[in-house]
Amino acid sequence: MSNMLVKRGIAVSPGVAIGRAVLFGAENFKVQRHYTSKAEIDAEIGRFHAALDAVCADIEENQRVATERLGSDLGAIFGAHLLMARSPELVGEIERLIRVETNTPERACDIVLNKYAKLFSDLGSRYHAERAQDIYDLKNRLLRQLLGKRRQELSDLAESVIILAHNLTPSETANLKKEFVLGFATEVGGPTSHTAILAGALELPAVVGVGDFLSEVNNGDIVIIDGDRGEVIVNPVESVIAERREAQKKSDANYAALEVDRTAEPITADGERIQLLGNIEFPTETEHCLERGADGIGLYRTEFLYLGRDVEPTEEDHYQAYCRVIDDLGGRECVIRTLDLGADKVPTSNGMFAEVPNPALGLRSIRLSLQYIEGFKTQLRAILRAAAKAPPGSVKIMFPLISSLYEFRQAKMVVRDVMDDLEEAGVPFQREMPLGMMVEVPSAAILADHFATEVDFFSIGTNDLIQYTLAVDRGDPAVSSLYRTGDPAILRMIRMVVDAAEKSDRKVPVTVCGQMSSDPKFLPLLIGLGIRRISVTPHSIPELKAVIRRLTIPKSKDIATHSEWLGLSRGVDNYLQGELFKICPQVGH
C-alpha cells in the first residue's frame, strides 16, 4: 500500500524539486518509528552517549550558575535533573532499545522518556506532574542534541537534498548552498516572509506555511516540492513523480520560450515604455537581472550583507558589495536601500537584537539606522564612495519604513553630514545622489502629497504596506488568507500615492517593488493605476515583459477601474487572473 502524503502550503518560489528529505532543526519534532541497521548499532550507541554527555554538561553548567547566584538549595534542583539523566535504569533501557530492537537513538529516547513521563503524570499529584515535565524537558534536550546536529551539518551537505524544516530564518535560508539544496518546505512562514523572498532570490522551489507535517516524514524519504502548486508530496508513487516531472518540463519550456524575448524592450502594445527593474538581496543576483533584460536594480536589500555573520560588516565590506553591483550594472540605475534590519529579519538568537514584543512595529529599519547613527554613516559613506564610479544620478539611496516627514528629513540630514565629512577628508564620492523613500507604512501613503515635495522618488513596498494596512503579519501562515494583495484598501493606497506624485511639481517617479509587482496577474492593474516602474524578483522578468508587450494603456485603465469597483479582494483576484489569461495565455494559464 502506498504511504504517499500530500500537504498543501503557500507556493513562494516556482519550480518542482524531487529528492531525498533532510529534516532540519529539532524543535517540535515528533520522532518517527525508524530503525537503524545492525552494522550501525555501536555508532548509534556512541551517538546517544555523546548527546547525553552534552546534555549533562549543560545541566552541570546550569547547576553551577544557579548555585552561584541563587544558593545551593536552588542549585540542587539541577542536581536532581542530573541524577535523572544519568539514572542507570533509564540509560539501560534506551541502550537496550537501540541495541536489541535496532531503534534509532532519537526513537529510543522518545519511547523511554515518554513512558517515564506518563508514569509520573498518571500518579496524579501536582508534584508528580512537575516531575513529568522535567522528564519531557530532558527528552527535548536529548532530541535537540541528536537532531539538532543537523543544523550545523546543513552547510556541509555533500549531496543534493530537499530541506524540510519547522522554520528557516532568513539567515539560514541565505546560507543554503544551491549546489546541495534542491528546494525546501517549512511548516511556518507567510507569502511575503523574508524566507519566501530569499527562496525566490536563490531560485529554489519552495513551499512555506505547510502546517504540522514533519512528524510524518523521515530523513531520506523521497519528497516532491511543487513550488508552482504549493504542494509537498512525501513518498510519492512513481506515476506522481512522472506527472510532476512532465509538468516541470512543460513549464521550463514555456519559461525558455518567454526568455527568448529578453532583448525586447518592455513597451506596451500601444508604445508606453515601462521601466522593469530587478530586486536583489545579493550582489551576484545583478547578473540574473541583466541576463533577463532588466533596466537596472530597483531595490537592493542591503541588510542581507548582515545575515549569516557574527560581526558587523565594515565600511569596506559594504563598499565592495556596492562596487560589485555598480560595476556589473555598467551605468544602469541602481537603487540602494539602506539597512532594513530588525528583529523581524534577524533571529533574536544570534544576539544582534533583543527579544521584543512586536518586532514588526519595533526598532527596525530606518528607526534603527537613526538611533545607531555611526552604523548608518558607515553604510552611507560606502554607498557615496561606490557611487562615484557610476554616472551621476544613476545610483540612488532609498530609506525604508519612513513613517513621518521628520524621519525622512533626519535621514537626509545624515546623508548631508556624511557628504561634508567625505568632502573634508578629500575622499571622492558621488554628489548627485537622488534620495527617495519606500512607501510601506500607511501614514506615508496618506501623506504622500507632503512627501512628494521633498523626496526624489517613491517606491511602494506592498509587502509591508499590506501587513500594516490590513494588520496581518506577513510571516504568519495562520493569517495568510487575510493577507490580501488585491484588497480595495491597498488599491486605494497605491492610487493615492500615484495621484500625489503626479500632482507634485516635481512629478516624483513611483515604483512598486513589493512582491505584488512580481505577480503578472497584478501587472495590468498596476499599470492601469498609473504605475510605470516596477522592481521585481529576477525570475519573473520574462513573464512580466511578455505581459507588458501585449497590454495597452486603455485596457489597463479599464482593468484598474473595474478592480476598484469590485471591492472584494477575492473577486479582484479571480477577475485579474481571467484578464491575464486573455492578455497573455502563456503566462496566465
**Would you tell me which residues interact with ligand PEP (CB under 6 A)?**
197, 299, 301, 340, 440, 461-464, 513-514
Residue 295 and residue 289 in contact, taking contact as beta carbons nearer than 8 Å: no
Give the nearer residue to Mg ion in terms of CB position, either 213 or 468. 468
How would you class 254 by CB atoms within 10 Å of its CB: exposed for 0-12, middle for 13-18, buried for 19 or more? middle
> Which residue number, 364 or 484, has a Cβ lying nearer to Mg ion?
364
Active site residue 323: no
* Minimum distance, C-beta of residue 340 to ligand PEP, in the bound complex (Å): 5
Select 16 or 341, whichever has its Cβ closest to ligand PEP.
Answer: 341
What string marks each residue from 494 to 533 as x (binds Mg ion by CB under 5 A) or -?
----------------------------------------
Buried b (16+ CB within 10 A) or exposed e, 162-194: bbbbbbbbbbbbbbbeeebbbbbbbbbbbbbbb
Taking the complex as a whole, the smallest distance from the CB of residue 463 to ligand PEP amounts, in Å, to 3
Please give the Cα distance from 230 to 243 (Å, whole number).
15
Name the minimum Å distance from CB 561 to ligand PEP: 25
| Residue 110's binding partner out of ligand PEP, Mg ion, none, with CB under 5 to 8 Å set by partner kind | none
CB atoms within 10 A of CB 309: 13
CB of 529 to ligand PEP, least distance (A): 16
Q: Which residue is nearest to Mg ion (CB)?
A: 464
* Nearest distance from C-beta of residue 427 to ligand PEP, angstroms: 30
For residue 313, state whether it binds Mg ion (rule: CB under 5 A): no
Cα–Cα dist 198/307, whole Å:
12
Tell me the window of 209-217, 247-255, 437-445, 493-501 that interacts with Mg ion (CB under 5 A): 437-445
User: Closest separation between CB of residue 278 and Mg ion, Å?
Assistant: 16
If the CB atoms of residues 117 and 444 are measured against ligand PEP, the closer one turns out to be: 444
**Binder to Mg ion among 148, 298, 461, 530 (CB under 5 A)?**
461
CB of 66 to Mg ion, least distance (A): 42
Distance of CA 589 to the CA centre of its chain: 27
197 or 433, CB closer to Mg ion? 197
| Residue among 183 and 461 whose Cβ is closer to Mg ion | 461
| Cell 507634485 -> residue | 504
- What type of residue is 158? A
Which residue carries 533584460 as its cell?
293
Taking the least distance from each CB to ligand PEP, the nearer of 48 and 300 is 300
373, 454, 360, 371: which is closest to 401 by C-alpha?
360
Closest separation in Å from C-beta 504 to ligand PEP: 22
User: Contacts from 451-454 at CB under 8 Å and sequence distance 24+?
Assistant: 451/402, 451/405, 451/408, 451/500, 452/500, 452/501, 452/503, 452/504, 452/506, 452/508, 453/504, 453/505, 453/506, 454/405, 454/408, 454/409, 454/412
Half-sphere exposure of 396 (CA within 13 A, CB side): 24
Q: What is the DSSP string of 163-207?
A: EEES---HHHHHT--TTTEEEEEESS--TT-HHHHHHHHHT--EE
Residue 519: φ, ψ to 5°? -95, 115
Residue 304 gets which letter from DSSP? Answer: G
Q: Which of 434, 435, 334 is nearest to 390 (CA)?
A: 334
- Closest separation between CB of residue 364 and ligand PEP, Å? 9
Q: Which grid cell is 257?
A: 520560450
The listed partner (ligand PEP, Mg ion, none) that binds 513, CB under 5 to 8 Å by sort, is ligand PEP
Which CB, 356 or 419, lies closer to ligand PEP? 356
| Residue 301's binding partner out of ligand PEP, Mg ion, none, with CB under 5 to 8 Å set by partner kind | ligand PEP
34 is a catalytic site residue: no
**Catalytic choice (81, 166, 194, 288):** 194
Q: Which stretch binds Mg ion (CB under 5 A): 223-231, 317-325, 439-447, 480-488?
A: 439-447
Contact criterion met (CB below 8 Å) for 281 and 201: yes
Q: Give the rounded distance of the alpha carbon of 15 from its chain centre.
A: 17
- Sign of the torsion angle spanned by Cα atoms 236, 238, 243, 247: positive
- Tell me if 440 contacts Mg ion by CB under 5 A: yes
CA angle (364 as vertex; 362, 370 as ends), nearest 5: 115
Closest CA relative to residue 104, chosen from 234, 218, 228: 218
Scanning 57-65, 87-95, 386-394, 459-467 for contacts with Mg ion by CB under 5 A, the matching segment is 459-467
Interface size with Mg ion, residues (CB under 5 A): 3
Q: Give the separation between CA 322 and CA 305, rounded to whole angstroms.
A: 10
Instruction: Report strand pairing: 16-24 vs 222-226.
Output: antiparallel
Residue of 106, 172, 464, 519 interacting with Mg ion (CB under 5 A): 464
Cell of 91: 540509560
From the list Mg ion, ligand PEP, none, pick the one residue 530 interacts with, judged by a Cβ distance below 5 to 8 Å according to partner type: none
Q: For ligand PEP, which is the closer residue by CB, 109 or 299?
A: 299
Q: How far is the CB of 461 from ligand PEP (least distance, A)?
A: 3
- Identity of the amino acid at 376: F
| Cα 432–chain centre separation | 33
- Beta carbon nearer to Mg ion, 479 or 553: 479
In the set 109, 334, 513, 584, the catalytic residue is 513
Q: Give the residue numbers marked as catalytic.
A: 194, 513
Contact positions vs Mg ion (CB under 5 A): 440, 461, 464
